[in-house]
Amino acid sequence: MRTHVVDHPLVSHKLTTLRQSETDSPTFRRLTDELVTLLAYEATREVRVETTDIVTPVAPATGVKLSTPKPLVVPILRAGLGMLDGMMRLLPTAEVGFLGMVRNEETLEASTYAERLPEDLSGRQCYVLDPMLATGGTLAAAIRFLTDRGADDITAICLLVAPEGLANLEAGLEGLDVPVTVVTAAQDERLNEKGYIVPGLGDAGDRLYGVAQ
């Protein structure tokens, strides 16, 4: 597993505002969108392309286009949905599949409550969107879900990660013969006793969409 922390002053600047308690939901949604587009630029460095012959107004030329099958973008509901538009801005022809997952806030175990994905993901590059990698349980389960269907290359885009979560994820994926990359805006200090990232930004889903019942 590879982790790539995107080191860019614009990313740090937007993330700083995103973290602040006084940032309201509309601003939080806009900053999430902008941050994802910046992270997606790095995350798609190895997106598969093939050569294609074109004709410019001046001369024939050879360029590249996205290979087929097209990449699959998978936002993890609920909070990952706030990252979808920012990702699709860079990969407008990608397909989108959905996974609904929720973490039990007592046990911190993740469970899946919704799934709308192609049955066969053989040979697909998948981009998983989830703003928070805290204990890593949600992302580990999501990645297993995709690789069980045949996905052969996974990149997760997370706004924030905790060191404990990265270590758990790596352990949880042991034996998996599929490359996994995590692209993030920052690796924070630690998790607190409630499994929240410190200093973090709080509950990403609640800050995007209001308090869940």
Residues contacting ligand PRP: total by CB under 6 A = 23
> Is there a contact between 35 and 86 (Cβ–Cβ < 8 Å)?
yes
Q: Which of 71, 86, 97, 131 binds ligand PRP (CB under 6 A)?
A: 131
Quick one: which segment of 52-60, 66-74, 118-126, 131-139 binds ligand PRP (CB under 6 A)?
A: 131-139
- Nearest distance from C-beta of residue 204 to Mg ion, angstroms: 6
- Nearest distance from C-beta of residue 68 to Mg ion, angstroms: 35
CA distance 93 to 96: 9
Angle at 147 between CA 143 and CA 150, to 5 degrees: 150
Q: Which of 1, 35, 76, 166 binds ligand PRP (CB under 6 A)?
A: 76
DSSP β-ladder status, 60-66 and 49-55: antiparallel
Q: Where are the alpha helices (DSSP H) in 20-174?
A: 25-43, 84-88, 137-148, 163-172
Residues in contact with 71: Cβ distance below 8 Å, sequence separation at least 6, in sequence order: 47, 48, 91, 94, 95, 124, 125, 126, 127
Is position 47 an interface residue for ligand URA (rule: CB under 6 A)? no
Residues 120-159: x where in contact with ligand URA by CB under 6 A, - otherwise, as a string: ------------x-x-------------------------
Binding site for ligand URA (CB under 6 A): 132, 134, 195-197, 200, 203-205
